[in-house]
Amino acid sequence: MENQYAIEMLHITKKFPGIIANDDITIQLKKGEIHALLGENGAGKSTLMSVLFGLYQAEEGIIKKDGKEVQIKNPNDANALGIGMVHQHFKLVECFTVLDNIIMGVEPNKFGFLQKKEARAKVLELSEKYGLHIDPDAYIEDITVGMQQRTEILKMLYRENEVLIFDEPTAVLTPQEIEELMQIMKNLAAEGKSILFISHKLNEIKAVADRCSVLRKGKYIGTVDTKDATIEELSAMMVGHNVNLHVQKEESVPREVVLDIENMTVASKMHKNNAVKGVSLKVHRGEVVCIAGIDGNGQTEFVYGLTGLEPLVDGKITLCGEDITKAPIRKRLLSGMSHIPEDRHKHGLVLDYPLDYNCVLQRYFEPEFTDKFGFLRKKNIRDYADKLIEQYDVRSGQGAITIARSMSGGNQQKAIVAREIDKNPELLIAVQPTRGLDVGAIEYIHKQIIAQRDAGKGVLLVSLELEEVMDVSDRILVMYEGEIVGELNPKTTTEDELGLYMAGAKRDEVKA
Amino acid sequence: MLLLLQYTLIFASVLILVALGGCFAEHSGVINLGLEGIMVMGALGGALMMRYAPDSFGAFGMIICVIIAAMIFGVAYSSLLGVACINFKANQTIVGTAMNMLGTAAATVIVKAINTATNPNDVSSTIQYVDEKKAFIVNIGSFEFSWFMAIALIGVVVAYVVLYKTKFGLRLMACGEHPQAADSVGINVYKMRWAGVLISGLYGGLGGICYILSGVSEWKFENGVAGFGFLALAVMIFGQWKPSRIAMAALIFGFFRALSNVYFGFPILVALNIPGSIYNMLPYIICLIVLAFTSKKSRAPKAEGIPYDKGQR
């Protein structure tokens, strides 16, 4: 009987110091199928794929390609076996053309001189065959993220890889692009390519995968045919218990305005133009306003301008009736602004400080934490941190004296959330508060955000995750190229409509 | 006027060669601040060759041997940068600075030792090459053509072809822009960076010997190369890391450097009654101004200065 599996990973065990990342995992990828690998962050999906791609060596277990046992010691071995991978963070050189990126590493050449003509023809042919619509002479920095991803796909196809690994490919795409990607993946499978699709988004898996293997905390839970499984079943397999995928919340009761932004304009650091162009909006007490949009449409600069990390070119910001347009950051924070920053490592924590110091970063100067001679009251700081740790369930190796760097991403984020909420702010600005967190932590943070809203605070949420936008917010403002192009009600709009706004295909004139 | 052109071209040649050296290193992802030191070493190699080469070599043999000696010294010295920054992941700025200090100091010590050994009363750090220098010069009318002008031109063409038309160039630049991407397609980043650094040493050494042969016929090694390595870095930045633009930038800087040598030949400039030292400062002042205004939009290779660590993904 002919072997029906393209890749078999049998009883793979991979340990890291103190943790078993993969514990006796078996996955069999059939030829021509799309096989999803589902699991929360930290479930061991990436480790398993890294083993397959030769980035790590497994302690136990074997890998078989077409029924024959193989050794994969580095990515070159994987390439030689026809295994290709689209990494989560693209491995593309931005100032090179699409073609250069595709041929890099396997350049057709005569005596070392590049021969691009044939390569170009081959790339165009492949692009045509799979409906990728790529321009080989465009520079990577000029094309959309979706196109960049297609360049990565073409890289694999150009190398005639048979097994394609997609590592969370949809995280960076718009809904329309995701749809197109799904179609491309189906085309590839129809042409006989075998696809491993890593994701924690259930509806995508349901839409595109033939079978799905689930990992949880490094262990193999099972493999199911996706057409026989419901999303709820898959979700329960993934987290081990039933999760409420949707945020429970009451109808919001907006009250007076807490934040009023008029005509905010912020310059771009990268380019000569403005990243935020005349944005006006209001946030009321008791509502969650969400700024939605694809990454890089000015959201970051908007938040920088609002929180004082960047000066405004133009515009006015009023917080609780007070003009804070030119106020320094500390003034803003003392006036009742809390900020859960986008980049928790850069703006959220001092990574090499212990947790207790991180908890008082904005308050260390208060009499409670500093005595009248200017010395820190360490005991008070420690007690305060212990209180937050207890109250917000922040888990760390050594409690308050744990160095922030050594904590997991989820707990770092929880610590920041605790610090920002415990300040009892008037306005909570949360920028991608759940980025990179697992389902449990996401649920927790969403609950905290809703709790703030219900306590009568204003919440401004900036998010790239459509589900989060739809679930948590009471009002959605879509940002596209630095402007607010639409105001939507999450109850009446659909993800597709939202996607059209986010991609700039649709816009309204919006007044604050 | 002809003199101005001649000096412009010869100084531009120095700057082109050294800046191209910097360009190769930076495209591979290593900032080479040690160019100054590499120039001194290249100059030392060439000068020693001129001093010890037998007359039987003839003019052509002399040129070849001196150039090769300068290149070998430059490459050997640049390997210090390679070992420290690529293998041991040291801070590239500090290593480069150390190399500059070491370069001039070591050359001075070596030359003094040689001088004292031949003549106990001679404690100078000077090497003379009055006759040897003539091999490099061809008189066309009153214009002194130096072979280095041709070499610099060839250097530009070679750099352009290597960077943009070869497999090696594509891989080298990938390592300076996005080493993880290069690694993921099976390119050995460490090897490419070593190649970049060594080529940088080759060009830098060449530039060094070109510099000390540019005007005078003896060189006092205590003087180093008067900041030309840094000037070349400015030229490289102004030239946006592209060989053809580097050549243009070098001509501009070369022109101002040349002015300080020949300004007294122009009655207008003399009439201005500006002290000579102002002219001497001119290239460096221009350098500051140019960098202040162009640095903002300059596009350095993205990953330059960051040691590559295979473990970080």
Examine the pLDDT at A299 and tell me if it is beyond 60. Answer: yes
CB B253, CB B11: distance < 8 Å: yes
Distance CA A24, CA A317 (A): 56
Q: Which residues, listed in sequence order, are joined to residue A97 by a DSSP beta bridge? A: A139
Residue B292's pLDDT is what? 84
Tokens 């002809």 correspond to what residue? B2
Residue B72's pLDDT is what? 97
Distance CA B250, CA A65 (A): 56
Q: At what angle do helices B92-118 and B35-52 cross, to 10 degrees?
A: 20
CB A170, CB A201: distance < 8 Å: yes
Place A175 in a pLDDT band, splitting at 50, 70 and 90: confident
CB A179, CB A496: distance < 8 Å: no
Asked if CATH classification 3.40.50.1110 holds for the domain at A5-239, the reply, yes or no, is: no
Residue A244's pLDDT is what? 63
Distance CA A151, CA A132 (A): 9
Rg of chain A taking only CA atoms, in angstroms = 25
With b for 16 or more beta-carbon neighbours within 10 A and e for fewer, the B130-153 pattern comes to: eebbebbeeeeeeebbbbbbebbe
With b for 16 or more beta-carbon neighbours within 10 A and e for fewer, the A166-200 pattern comes to: bbbbbbbbbbebbebbbebbeebbeeebbbbbbbb
CB B71, CB B148: distance < 8 Å: no
CB A194, CB A30: distance < 8 Å: yes
Distance CA A92, CA A148 (A): 8
CB A175, CB A499: distance < 8 Å: yes
User: Minimum mean pLDDT among A127-131, A174-178, A275-279, A331-335: which range?
Assistant: A174-178
Examine the pLDDT at A511 and tell me if it is beyond 80. Answer: no
| pLDDT tens per residue across span A357-397 | 999 998 898 899 999 898 999 999 999 999 998 888 887 77
Residues of A in contact with B240 (CB under 8 A): none
- Comparing alpha-carbon positions, the chain A residue that sits nearest to B27 is A95
Do residue A104 and residue B187 have CB atoms under 8 angstroms apart? yes
Distance CA A289, CA A299 (A): 13
User: Minimum mean pLDDT among A64-78, A239-253, A293-307: which range?
Assistant: A239-253
Distance CA B193, CA B179 (A): 10
Q: Which of A479-488, B182-191, B197-206 has the largest mean confidence? A: B197-206
Choose among A93, A107, A109: nearest Cβ to B181: A93
3-class SS at A166? strand
CB A163, CB A157: distance < 8 Å: no
∠ CA A495-A499-A505 to the nearest 5 degrees? 145
User: Minimum mean pLDDT among A50-59, A267-276, A325-334, A339-348: which range?
Assistant: A267-276
Distance CA A466, CA A175 (A): 9
Choose among B166, B178, B185: nearest Cβ to A114: B166
Distance CA B264, CA B273 (A): 10
Q: At what angle do helices B35-52 and B2-28 cross, to 10 degrees?
A: 120
CB A191, CB A132: distance < 8 Å: no
User: Minimum mean pLDDT among A65-79, A235-249, A472-486, B195-209: which range?
Assistant: A235-249
Q: Give me the amino acid identity at A476.
A: I
Long-range contacts of A110-115 (CB under 8 A, 24+ apart): A112/B166, A112/B167, A112/B168, A113/B165, A113/B166, A113/B167, A114/B165, A114/B166, A114/B167, A114/B170
Residue A131's pLDDT is what? 86
Name every residue whose Cβ is closer than 8 Å to that of residue A484 and which is 6 or more positions away in sequence.
A279, A280, A281, A477, A478, A510
DSSP A474-493: SEEEEEETTEEEEEE-TTT-
Residue B313's pLDDT is what? 42
> What is the sign, positive or negative, of the torsion defined by CA atoms of B210, B215, B219, B223?
negative
Residue of B159, B154, B146 whose CA lies nearest to B11: B146
| CB neighbourhood size of A329 (10 A) | 14
Residue A396's pLDDT is what? 77
Residues of A in contact with B299 (CB under 8 A): 95
Burial class (CB in 10 A: 0-12, 13-18, 19+), A1: exposed
Residues of B in contact with A55 (CB under 8 A): 313
Examine the pLDDT at B265 and tell me if it is beyond 90. Answer: no
Count A/B contacts: CB-CB distance under 8 Å.
65
Which residues of A lie inside 8 Å of B (Cβ-Cβ)? 55, 75-76, 79, 87, 90-96, 100-101, 103-107, 109, 112-114, 155
Place B66 in a pLDDT band, splitting at 50, 70 and 90: very high
- Comparing alpha-carbon positions, the chain B residue that sits nearest to A99 is B170
Q: Give me the amino acid identity at B5.
A: L
Distance CA B67, CA B148 (A): 10
Residue from A46, A73, A91, A94 to probe the interface with B (highest B Cβ count within 10 Å): A91
Chain B window 242-301: which residues touch A at a Cβ cutoff of 8 Å?
Answer: 299
CB B260, CB B276: distance < 8 Å: yes
Do residue B184 and residue A91 have CB atoms under 8 angstroms apart? yes
Name every residue whose Cβ is closer than 8 Å to that of residue A88 and which is 6 or more positions away in sequence.
A167, A168, A169, A171
CB A147, CB A101: distance < 8 Å: no
- Mean pLDDT of all residues belonging to chain B: 91
In this structure, the dihedral spanned by the alpha carbons of residues A180, A183, A185 and A189, taken in order and rounded to 10 degrees, is -170
Residue A510's pLDDT is what? 57
- Comparing alpha-carbon positions, the chain A residue that sits nearest to B299 is A95
- Mean pLDDT of all residues belonging to chain A: 87
**Tokens (6 digits) for B136:** 């490099």
Examine the pLDDT at A18 and tell me if it is beyond 80. Answer: no
Do residue B170 and residue A100 have CB atoms under 8 angstroms apart? yes
Do residue B183 and residue A75 have CB atoms under 8 angstroms apart? yes
Do residue B185 and residue A155 have CB atoms under 8 angstroms apart? yes
Do residue B173 and residue A92 have CB atoms under 8 angstroms apart? no
Alpha carbon A323 to chain centroid, angstroms: 34
Residues of B in contact with A97 (CB under 8 A): none
- Comparing alpha-carbon positions, the chain B residue that sits nearest to A116 is B165
Tokens 């943070």 correspond to what residue? A445
Distance CA B241, CA A187 (A): 42
Residues of A in contact with B187 (CB under 8 A): 104-105
Asked if CATH classification 3.40.50.620 holds for the domain at A257-502, the reply, yes or no, is: no
- Comparing alpha-carbon positions, the chain B residue that sits nearest to A95 is B177
Place A512 in a pLDDT band, splitting at 50, 70 and 90: very low
Place A40 in a pLDDT band, splitting at 50, 70 and 90: confident
Asked whether this chain's domains A5-239 and A257-502 adopt the same fold, the reply is yes
∠ CA A408-A409-A414 to the nearest 5 degrees? 100
Examine the pLDDT at A116 and tell me if it is beyond 70. Answer: yes
Instruction: Tell me the average pLDDT across B117-139.
Output: 87
**Tokens (6 digits) for A319:** 């917080």
Examine the pLDDT at A349 and tell me if it is beyond 70. Answer: yes
- Comparing alpha-carbon positions, the chain A residue that sits nearest to B172 is A104
Residue B311's pLDDT is what? 58
Question: HSE (CB half, 13 Å, CA atoms) of A136?
Answer: 20
Residue B247's pLDDT is what? 95
User: Minimum mean pLDDT among A34-38, A45-49, A183-187, B147-151: which range?
Assistant: A45-49
Do residue A105 and residue B178 have CB atoms under 8 angstroms apart? no
Choose among A79, A103, A113: nearest Cβ to B165: A113
Residue of B266, B257, B306, B309 whose CA lies nearest to B10: B257
With b for 16 or more beta-carbon neighbours within 10 A and e for fewer, the B272-310 pattern comes to: eeeeeeebeebbbebbeebeeeeeeeeebbebbbebbee
With b for 16 or more beta-carbon neighbours within 10 A and e for fewer, the A43-77 pattern comes to: bbbbbbbbbbbbbbebeebebbbbeeeeebeebbe
CB A276, CB A302: distance < 8 Å: yes
Distance CA B50, CA B44 (A): 10
Rg of chain B taking only CA atoms, in angstroms = 20
The domains of chain A are located at 5-239, 257-502
**Tokens (6 digits) for B30:** 């290593």
Do residue A87 and residue B184 have CB atoms under 8 angstroms apart? yes
Instruction: Tell me the average pLDDT across B60-65.
Output: 90
Residue A245's pLDDT is what? 61
| pLDDT tens per residue across span B140-182 | 888 889 999 999 999 999 999 999 999 999 999 999 999 999 9
CB A476, CB A488: distance < 8 Å: yes
**Tokens (6 digits) for B187:** 């390119």
Examine the pLDDT at A276 and tell me if it is beyond 80. Answer: yes
Q: Give me the amino acid identity at A385.
A: A
User: Minimum mean pLDDT among A482-491, B164-173, B219-228, B266-275: which range?
Assistant: B266-275
| pLDDT tens per residue across span B226-260 | 889 999 999 999 899 999 999 999 999 999 988 88
Share of chain A above pLDDT 90, in %: 42
